[in-house]
Chain A
């Protein structure tokens, strides 16, 4: 049903500007369809459009198959390309053209709930809730980094869920896809992380997190089965592993010994010497960055292996 109203057309409950061919009214699906009532066009009803009333598509986007965006921060990248592709029920590829780096993300026949929070700068704020049918993908965006979390048998999606689908995207034009398609294909998270050829999995390229000074060598990756790490701290509270926390491999801890002064020097820790330690046994596939303590900034010698848990450990 269409009604002409002062140059606008009402289609399926969405008000569209005739000259612009763009919806300018909130999504009538309300929060059922999205956290953001304008997410069908990603908050930009002028530059993104939605001809069939489902999802907005921006410049350079496509419905199915491979799609690309030369500006990975564009609204089209998320609201148009990705969501449209997901909703289309067919596999899609995402090509990040910036800097000539191409990362692929393949999603199987998935459908699900999604939402976005493009205005938030809180790292975790992009996490939105889950798949309507248990095989879906939830997508969220944040300012400093983007993440998408979904999946999980009709439950609200959590990163820790073994069946979660996830897409990370960092403004440094490095994108990460992992666990994608896991819920659909039944692949283990490791399989998905390693970008196995199984249906519904994608190439893994983990972003290097800018918030951490990092070690002199940063090698983004994931934990392996049975790996144990140790976090030391001057207080018990400071031994918890949160997003962006450092730790060390158990072998390093064993080699250094439980000597606070030695640990302080080896890990270039300022302030009080660590008096507490905690063993960490993350599940296989936990994102991690490995490197070597640079040393020198706080008077310590450094030079020993250390790791960063960019997502923390629940």
Chain B
């Protein structure tokens, strides 16, 4: 299971949920790229990106997250 850096957990938990325990967010990488449809459980566990369970980015390179 791939997790987001813990520094984003509190922020994500404040967002309205997509479904029970799940938040849908956009992540911004350190190179400026963004990935949308990132589904996060309990504010930290990346459960899928788009329709795939593969995570196409390095969570450690995320510099920001926002609600989608």
Contacts and interface: CB of A to CB of B under 8 A. Distances in A.
B13 A270 contact: no
Contact of A270 (B9, B10, B15, B48): B48
A244 B17 contact: yes
A259 B45 CA distance: 21
- Majority secondary structure of chain A interface residues (helix, strand, loop or mixed): loop
B43 to A, nearest CB: 6
Interface residues on B, range: 20 to 34
A41 interface: no
A126 to B, nearest CB: 16
Given A238-B21, A298-B22, A298-B47, A270 B16 contact: no
- Looking at B1, B19, B39, B67, the one whose CB has the most chain A CB atoms below 10 A away is B19
Given A237-B13, A240-B13, A244-B15, A293 B20 contact: yes
A242 B41 contact: no
Interface string A250-271: 0000000000000000011111
Interface of A: 209, 211-213, 232-235, 237-238, 240, 242-246, 267-272, 274, 293-294, 297-298, 306, 308, 310
Given A270-B41, A270-B47, A271-B41, A212 B13 contact: no
Given A211-B67, A238-B21, A306-B20, 4 more contacts: A212-B16, A240-B13, A244-B15, A269-B19
